[in-house]
Every structure is written in C-alpha cells, then in structure tokens.
Amino acid sequence: MGRWSAAIDPAWLHHEERPTAARLALQWLGTAGFRVVFGEGGAEHHVWLDPHLSRHSLAEVALTRLRPNLQRIAADVDRADAVAVGHAHFDHAIDAPEIARRFDARLYGSASMMEIARGYGTPEALLRPLVPGVTVNDGPCSLTAYRSQHSRFAFGRVPAPGDVKAPLRWPAHAKNFRVGEVLALHLAGGPLTVAHLGSADLIEAELEGVQADVVLACTVGRQATPNFTHRMIDALQPQLIVPCQWDRFWRPIDAPPLQIPTNDLEGFLAEVRRHPRAPDIKVLPLRGWLTLA
Ligand SMILES: [Zn+2]
C-alpha cells in the first residue's frame, strides 16, 4: 500500500465489541472525536472529547451554514456526563453544544467554545471555561487543559484564526468557528491517564512534568510540525498511541474510512515504531472501542 494511499489496510485496525465492565475504555467516532468511559465502581461516567458526528459533506462545509445533525447525534450518543473541546474549529466544536444541552452535560473548553455554545442556547449553568493548568473534577475524572498550538498545515497558517468573541449566530459558516485558544486535554482519575491532542502540534514547555499513559493524537497536518511524532512521545511518554483525525471526516460514518489525502498514517506508524520508547499503537475503525483497563 503506497505512502499516499487513501485506503486503510484492514490489518491495521483493532476490532473490539463495546465493553460492558471496563474500568476505563474509549471509543473513536472519527475526526478527533472520542468518548472516554470511566467505569470504576460499576457506575459509568462518559466524557466526550471533540465530538464530531455531523460529518457534513465538503460541499456543505464550503457552501452552506452548518448546524449539528441531530439524527447523527441521537444515533451515536446514548449518554454524556461531560464534553471537553480542545479547539473551536467546526470539526471539533460543532456538536458539543447540542450534546451538552441534550444530556445536561457540563461543557468544557476555551472562551471561544463557550461563545459557540452560548449562541446555540446551551444553558449557561453547563458552561465551564477551562483555565490552562487548573484541574477540574468531573465525577471520577480529573480534567486539566494545557496550552497547546494548532498545526500550521494550511500554507504555513492556521485556518480560521482568532477567537469567537460573541455568541455565535447559528447556523454558521465553517469559517466562523474560529480556532480560539488551543488546548491539550489531560484526563486523570482512572487507572490510566489519557491525553488528547486535537491538532498535530504541542508546546513542550507547557507539558513539563505531564505524563500520559495513552495519547489520542491527531495525525493530519503533522508534516507541518517539525518532528511532531517524536516530540509528542518525548513530552508525554505514553505506553499507547491512538491516532485520530486521519479519516476523511466529510464522508458518512457508515462508509469505509479513507485517509485524508495528505495524512500518511503509514508514515506516522513507522515514526512511532522508530522511537526508542516504541509505544504500542491502536488504530481504531470508526465507532471502534478499546478497553484500556
Ligand atoms: Zn483545527
């Protein structure tokens, strides 16, 4: 399979049924979207990270104002206790306000994410702006955000730069979902710690002393970030990496996943294996589950 091949070698994919009694499990929903389930003590606690279920087509993204696809959300979200978003681009932020509203779940994110949710009508009482370096407890989960940065993959720039400074008027064009503050999310409180990098860049100085057993790593755009893969492993020292945002997130979730043409998942896997720590890698299918503990 060629370096730039869009198809995914089925042998790369980890297949697992939804676990029923895991202490810590996760599900990948395409793009940078995950649900992390804390199951300690029998009561489940579902934390959604950058959930993106709407998956508008490229034509819709380019030409129309976007709103969440309520049917898609209803089909995939059966429970949410908290939603946390690492940056406010549409493919990370568009579904979070509806999931929070629908399930009375707390919504964590940047000031821009709060304005997007405010404009959507998510109740103010659910909005929890994140302060970098400050840990918040949500059920068994301890969530800390760290300052991060977005891959400059668009001709050396970050698309839709700046902040959302007032409640977003919905429906909204993709370009109105401005990136806002970019945050690396770190979840503790379960048997393993989990970090989420929703864009392929990081700031090592902000992550000093931070370790994550599992890193959910965006891979698209990593070529624009010098030595991203090894720097990420050096900074967070994970045992396991789950790559994300490698799929063409404008395709239906039921279609076989194809890589974003520039993504090069094969190259990413080779880079991870070349690192002296050689952390394990699990590539999940769309909606795929992974028991962590
Ligand atoms: Zn982005």
User: How far, in Å, from the CA of 11 to the mean position of ligand 1?
Assistant: 29
Ligand 1 mean position, distance from CA 176 (Å): 12
Q: How confident is the model at residue 6 (pLDDT cuts 50, 70, 90)?
A: confident
Ligand 1 geometric centre to CA of 151 (Å): 8
Q: How far is the CA of 90 from the centre of ligand 1 (A)?
A: 8
- DSSP states of the chain as a string? --TT-SS--GGGB---PPPSS-SEEEEE-STT-EEEEE-GGG--EEEEES-------HHHHHHS-B---HHHHHHH-S--SEEE-S--SHHHHSSHHHHHHHHT-EEEE-HHHHHHHHHHT--GGGEEE--TT-EEEETTEEEEEEE-----TBTTB-SS-S---S---SSB-GGGS---S-EEEEEESSSS-EEEESSS---GGGGTT---SEEEEE-TTGGGSTTHHHHHHHHH--SEEEEES-B-TTS-TTSPP-B-TT--HHHHHHHHHHSTT--EE-BPPTT-EEE--
Query: What is the layout of strands, in order, in the sheet containing 135-138?
Result: 135-138, 141-147, 183-188, 194-197, 214-218, 240-244, 280-281
The tens digit of pLDDT for each residue in 182-201 reads: 999 999 999 999 999 999 99
Query: Looking at residue 9, what is its pLDDT?
Result: 86
Place of tokens 């991060």: 148
User: Given a cut of 60, is residue 1 above it in pLDDT?
Assistant: no
Q: Quick one: fold of 10-291?
A: Metallo-beta-lactamase; Chain A (3.60.15)
5 pLDDT tier (thresholds 50, 70, 90): low
Positive/negative CA dihedral, 255, 264, 27, 99: negative
Cα(229) to ligand 1 centroid in Å equals 18
The residue-averaged pLDDT of 94-116 equals: 98
**pLDDT of 201-223, one tens digit each?**
999 999 999 999 999 999 998 99
Centroid of ligand 1 to alpha carbon of 150 (angstroms): 7
Gap from CA of 89 to ligand 1 centroid (Å) = 5
Q: What tokens appear for 71 in the block? A: 């049917």
Q: How far apart are CA 169 and CA 183, in angstroms?
A: 24
- Give bridge partners of residue 77 from the DSSP assignment: none
- Write out the two tokens for 144: 């800390």
Q: How far does the centroid of ligand 1 lie from the alpha carbon of residue 37, in Å?
A: 24
Provide the residue ranges of all domains of the chain, joining segments of one domain with +: 10-291
Contact call for residues 89 and 130 (beta carbons, < 8 A): no
Between the CA of 183 and the centroid of ligand 1 the distance, in Å, is 11
Q: What pLDDT band is residue 40 in, cutting at 50, 70 and 90? A: confident
Output the CA 185–ligand 1 centroid distance in Å.
14
Q: What confidence category does residue 10 fall into, taking pLDDT thresholds of 50, 70 and 90?
A: confident
Beta-carbon neighbour count of residue 191 at 10 Å? 13
What are 242's strand-pairing partners?
216
Ligand 1 centroid vs 93 CA: distance in angstroms?
Answer: 10
CA of 99 to the centre of ligand 1 (A): 20
What is the CA(208)–ligand 1 centre distance, in A? 24
The vertex-52 CA angle with 56 and 44, nearest 5°, equals 150
Residue 143 alpha carbon to ligand 1 centre in Å: 21
Q: Are strands 194-197 and 183-188 parallel, antiparallel or unpaired?
A: antiparallel
Residue 177 Cα to ligand 1 middle (Å): 10
Highest mean predicted confidence (pLDDT) among 38-42, 125-129, 154-158: 125-129
Distance 86 CA to ligand 1 centre (A): 9
CA–centroid distance, 85 to ligand 1, in Å, is: 11
Q: How far is the CA of 21 from the centre of ligand 1 (A)?
A: 34
